[in-house]
Amino acid sequence: MAVSTSFADIGASGKETLQTLFITGVKNAHALEKEARQILSRQIERVTNYPEVEQKLRMHLAETNAQEERIDEILHALGEDRSLLKDWATQIMGNMAAVAHVPMADEILKNTFANHAFEAFEIAAYKSLITMAEATGNTQFLAALRQTLQEEERMRQWIEDNVEKVTRMYMEREARGEKADR
Ligand SMILES: [Fe+2]
C-alpha cells in the first residue's frame, strides 16, 4: 500500500518519532472516549421524552465503554501508564461539550447536532489513528481500532438518519404544549 511504501526509507530515529506520533494518537483517542462517555451519560440522565434517542444513547454508551477499554489495552501493550494521562482532548472538544451540557428549550435538537459532530470527529480521529498504526507496523491493534471506527460510523449514520424524525417529534410536542426540550 502507498502509505507503508512511502515510509520505507525512514531511519531508526525517524521510526521512533513515528511510533511516538502513534502513541500520542492513542492517548488522544483515550481522552476522546472519556469525553464521549461524559457527554452521553449526561444526556442519558436528562432525556425523558425521546425514548428512541435514549435507547440509542445507552447503546452507544455501552459501546463507548468498550472502546475505552480497547484503548486501555493498546496503551498497556505499548507500555504506557494510563493513570498518567492528562486527557487534554477535553479542551479540544470543549465547545461541543458545552453545547451538549447547557439546558435549552431545544436541547434535544442541539444535542443531536452536537452528537453528530462528535461522532464525525471520532471517525476522523480513528481513521487517522488507523493510518498511523498501519504506517508504523502496529498491525496487532488494527482489528480493535477498526471495530471502534465501525461503531462510530453506525452511530453517526443513525443520527443523520433520524434528525428529521427527532425534529418532527420535537415540533409536535411543542405544538401540543407538551414538554419538548428533552
Ligand atoms: Fe467512541
pLDDT tens by residue, the chain, 182 residues: 555 556 778 999 999 999 999 999 999 999 999 999 999 999 999 999 999 999 999 999 999 999 999 999 999 999 997 777 766 555 555 555 555 556 789 999 999 999 999 999 999 999 999 999 999 999 999 999 999 999 999 999 999 999 999 999 999 999 999 999 99
The pLDDT of residue 98 is 53
The pLDDT of residue 90 is 54
Q: How far is the CA of 28 from the centre of ligand 1 (A)?
A: 12
Q: How far is the CA of 123 from the centre of ligand 1 (A)?
A: 8
Q: How far is the CA of 29 from the centre of ligand 1 (A)?
A: 8
The 8 Å CB, 24+ separation contacts for 92-100 are: 93/32, 93/35, 93/118, 93/121, 96/121, 97/35, 97/38, 97/39, 100/39, 100/42, 100/43
Q: How far is the CA of 141 from the centre of ligand 1 (A)?
A: 16
Cell numbers placing 48: 425523558
Q: How far is the CA of 54 from the centre of ligand 1 (A)?
A: 17
The pLDDT of residue 9 is 86
Domain boundaries, the chain: 11-175
The pLDDT of residue 7 is 79
Which numeric CATH code is attached to 11-175?
Answer: 1.20.1260.10
Question: Distance (Å, rounded) from C-alpha 121 to C-alpha 152?
Answer: 9
The pLDDT of residue 91 is 52
The pLDDT of residue 82 is 73
**pTM of the entire predicted model:** 0.90
Return the closest-CA partner of residue 75 out of 151, 144, 3: 144
The one-letter amino acid code at 109 reads L
Q: How far is the CA of 150 from the centre of ligand 1 (A)?
A: 10
Q: How far is the CA of 71 from the centre of ligand 1 (A)?
A: 10
Q: How far is the CA of 148 from the centre of ligand 1 (A)?
A: 7
Return the closest-CA partner of residue 166 out of 37, 49, 2: 49
Q: How far is the CA of 103 from the centre of ligand 1 (A)?
A: 23
Q: How far is the CA of 40 from the centre of ligand 1 (A)?
A: 10
The pLDDT of residue 3 is 53
